[in-house]
Structure 1
């Protein structure tokens, strides 16, 4: 397994946020983390890339404890796209994306053609190439999100972690970005709110509630009406999409 979490536990301010989570993420697959706000999805991603230190248990990359790896080694292979990533610096779009190359540059290493090509490829992938010279602070929330995803892609990660990457994006860009992520030659963990997007684009799902995994497996094995009611507190009908054959959730609400 590329990414493995074994009985991982983490607390903050005396409250358990991640409570004994065990997960395996197969190489090259996309794992979706779903669950209500406060269920531990974001914290779990930060534990994987060592922005948080586990209280107990272990996170491994290719069998090596992430805590034993040099920070630079982790940065070179794992990219994280956060919900509210930003910068106050006066940078343009290309310069923000170029920050993704930082882990690959030594103290005296010059900027190379390969670095420039990685940046341009990432801009093309998210549809922001024509905005490369636009100042960062003039972008909309959705455009900033696409640029931050490009920054992660420019890093050329083996493992890509995304925390609600579809926030601020319109429907077309939600589908385009998640389609792109699914096609990448990387192992992906992505936290999502939208169960239909999770079912459509993820190979497996892990459902979190109060820091614990209550269900895990392929979307068709995980998403059922009782689970959605008990975890999310809403009534729903789960069928199959006539377009892609994956589970499709219809929420039952009075209007």
Structure 2
């Protein structure tokens, strides 16, 4: 497995936020993390890239426990796109994407051909090579999220973690961003709120509730009316989409 989480616990302020979670993500696949606010999705992502340390349990990249890896080695392998950030600095798209090369360069290392190649490839992946000189504050929300992903890709990661990458985006940009992520040649874990988008673009899903995994597997196997009622507190009808062949959730009023 590319990413393996085994019986991981993490607490804060006396409350157990991540409570014995175990998941596995196959190389090159996309796992969607679903669950209500406070279910532990964001905390789990931070544990996987060791921005936080597990209380107990093991997070592995390949066959290596991340506790035995340096933060620099993790940063060279795992890229994390947090929820959308803003800045008032007068920076360009190129400035932001170049930050992704930081883990690969020492404090005195000159910028090299390999760095240029990684940045250009990242911009091409998100369809923005012609926007490198554009100022950050002139971009739309969807364009900014593409640049965040390009910065992550400039790290040349084998694993990509994204925390609600479609938050505050219109439906066109939501579809574009998740379509982009699904096509990337990396292993991805994406925390999402929208069940239908998760079913459309993710190879597998893990549903979290109160810090535990309550269901995991293929979208059509785990997105059931009963689970949606128990975890999200809403009534729903599940059918298979005639357009994309994946399951589709239709919500019902109470």
Indicate conservation of the 8 Å contact 1:145/1:168, yes or no.
Answer: no
Show CA shifts across 1:80-119 (max 9, x none): 0000334454321110011011111123322122211222
Query: Secondary structure of the residue that 1:238 maps to in structure 2?
Result: strand
Structure 1 Cα separation of the partners of residues 140 and 198 of structure 2: 25
**Do the aligned partners of 1:41 and 1:208 also contact (CA within 8 Å) in 2?**
yes
Contact 2:84 2:165 in 1 (8 A): no
Give the count of matched residue pairs: 254
Q: Which runs of 5+ in 2 are unaligned?
A: none
In 1, distance between residues paired with 2:3 and 2:15?
A: 25
The TM-score normalised by the length of structure 2 is 0.95
**Following the alignment from structure 1 to structure 2, what is the Cα–Cα distance between the partners of residues 160 and 130?**
24
Give CA-to-partner distance per residue, 1:167-208, whole Å, 9 cap, x none. Answer: 132222222221221122211111011101100111110000
Q: Is residue 10 of structure 1 aligned with residue 20 of structure 2? A: no
Contact 2:80 2:162 in 1 (8 A): yes
Once structures 1 and 2 are overlaid, which stretch shifts more, 158-167 or 170-179? Answer: 170-179
Tell me how large the CA RMSD over aligned residues is. 1.5
Q: Which runs of 5 or more structure 1 residues have no equivalent in the other structure?
A: none
Matches within 5 A, 1:48-197: 48-87=48-87, 89-197=89-197
TM-score by length of 1: 0.95
| Residues 133-155 of structure 1, C-alpha deviations (whole Å, 9 max, x = no match) | 22223434333222111111111
Moved more, 109-118 or 85-94: 85-94
Distance 1:12 1:140 in 2: 35
Instruction: Give the whole-Å Cα distance in 2 for the aligned partners of 1:78 and 1:15.
Output: 28
User: More displaced, 133-142 or 227-236?
Assistant: 133-142
Distance 2:232 2:42 in 1: 17
Measured against aligned partners, the alpha-carbon deviations of 1:118-141 in whole angstroms (never above 9, x if no partner) come to 222222322333332222234343
Secondary structure at the counterpart of residue 53 of structure 1: coil
Aligned counterparts, 1:196-207, within 5 A: 196-207=196-207
Give the Cα separation in 1 of the matches to 2:113 and 2:172.
32
